[in-house]
Amino acid sequence: MVAAGLLVLSLVAFAQGAPTPDVMRVHERRAAPPNGFVKTTPGADADSAVVSLRIALKSDPAPLHKALLDVSTPGSANYRKFLTKAETDALVAPSADGLAAIDAWLSSANVTSTPAATNQWLNIDVPVASANALLDADFQTYTNAETGKTAIRTLAYSLPKSVQPFVDFVFPATSFPVQSAKGVAAVHHARAPLNPAHPVRAAVAASCADTVTPTCLQALYNIPTDPATSAKNTLAVSSFVQSNASTTDLSDFLTSFRPDLSSQPSFEVTSVDNGVNDETDPSVEGSLDIQYTVGIATNVPTTFFVVGENNDGDVGGFLDLVNTFLAAKTPPTTFTTSFGFPEELISADLAQNLCNAYAQLGARGVSAFFSSGDSGVDDGQGGTCTTFRPTFPASCPFVTVVGSTTGISPETAADFSSGGFSNVFDQPSYQADAVGNYLSLLGNTNAGLFNTTGRGYPDVSAQGVSYQVNIGGTVSPVSGTSASTPLFASIVSLLNDRLIAGGKSPLGFMNPFLYAGGQVALNDVVSGSNPGCGTDGFPAKSGWDPVTGLGTPDFKKFSTLLGI
């Protein structure tokens, strides 16, 4: 029981506006660490170990999404009138009140923040004991016995009531390291037989049905061999998990498969997170990506962005790479990434943050391409799936996602080509008609196994089987959406070169254009499927489908459509 006198004093204090306590509220919580991670017995200096945290600042994404669609949708008065860095920064800037509240909170704990590469993040480095006090958390060291990776993480953290409305999340507080998967298929079964009803194009050698080279792709998709001319048009290739590329292998590859080139094109290397391109140890992924960008996008300036490993896992590398692009006054015109994650292993907040970062790039005129994955309707993480499992960033509605085909007479869906529907992102308006048509054709097939209202992917596709790649001096066949994605990006780079050389804007975020008429420049793929999770997966059908998207490219048709 409270004494009457104390009660009166409390009421008086309240009436006079005495400050109320800044109550801590749980902001994120997970029930347990992910499979494979176990808590490690802490050492004597555990509390003094320093943890690096990033505070994601909240802003309303609606104006950004509106601006992106405004500059990306044919028929809009602002179509391809892209925003500047300053304009996009202003769209996503956190509120002044929010910054003040966060600064007051950190200052009261004697914690100093440092600005990040973009205005949507703050960085702090604090001892574990201080992090626990600041966030009412319990940071511990966890170890993954299979990978040997260790990480200092907490299963929950809280934020003051005054701060919570202004913070999206703290990374990587409850996010454990996740390694991205390469878009290279380990096993391939599908093969389209030659069909007399669909004869091979005269310009396409019959051998291209089994062995894909630059010459095959140039003939199949009408890709020009003449060199690009604009220095303002650039192509970026993303590299993770020590995917290295060799200039010697590239030179030998070009000698064998692009002997028409009068000189030996090369590529620049840029390091992110202390990444190193070890040319003495070329990988399948790195070799494939570089050889089929430099070898197809003739003379387009190409940069290999090598992202190093850290305790944030590859998700942290994805954040750092896109923020590197956003921080640049002039980001690459086109970039291609052949890596991804199971969508369910990435927190929804983090996925939304990354997706909005790609939206910022699109608003600035960047065409971003990601592989759909190589596990059919599954996400490649193993184990038993009872429903279809999508991949990310393929599920992000603000990037263009590439699936795989095989065969030339006709092209058919490669059975590994991942596709499906997001469980995090809603279906964007630009693909509503195309997806609705497919679901109508699909009927009750796979009913209950996927989210019918989610973002559908891939958007497009291209050849993805038996690419001839020089790896350490030996030419080997490589298959996967890792092959299809840099190819499609290279074709767009060549289109952008002609647009820019003609005084026009590049294509930027292509999806609204592709779904609103651009499909006439694509070859519809109507056979094959992407099995997984104990099913035959999704069948390819007329129009868009979640295995080959809207179809494969035709450079000449795109050129005609774009008036170049």
Give the active site residues.
Answer: 285, 289, 482
Q: Name residue, tokens 């694509």.
A: 522
Find the helix or strand (DSSP H, E) in which 127 lies: strand 121-127
Spatial neighbors of 148 by CB under 8 A, at least 6 apart, are none
Residue 556 three-state SS: helix
Single-letter code of the amino acid located at 394: A
- Cβ neighbourhood burial of 48 (10 Å; 0-12, 13-18, 19+): exposed
Cβ atoms of 341 and 422 closer than 8 Å: no
Cβ atoms of 448 and 439 closer than 8 Å: no
| Phi, psi dihedral angles at 392 (to 5 degrees) | -135, 145
Length of the chain: 564
Q: Could you count the other beta carbons within 10 Å of the beta carbon of residue 500? A: 19
Cα 488 to Cα 18, 119, 170, 221, 357: the distances in Å are: 63, 32, 35, 10, 22
- Give, as one character, the DSSP assignment of residue 46: G
Cβ atoms of 213 and 260 closer than 8 Å: no
Cβ atoms of 372 and 403 closer than 8 Å: yes
Q: Name residue, tokens 């892209």.
A: 82
Q: Could you count the other beta carbons within 10 Å of the beta carbon of residue 252? A: 16
In 190-299, where does DSSP find H-type helix? 214-221, 247-257, 284-294
| Phi, psi dihedral angles at 113 (to 5 degrees) | -100, 155
Alpha-carbon dihedral sign for residues 112, 315, 515, 389 = negative
What is the C-alpha to C-alpha distance for residues 295 and 328, in angstroms, rounded to an integer? 26
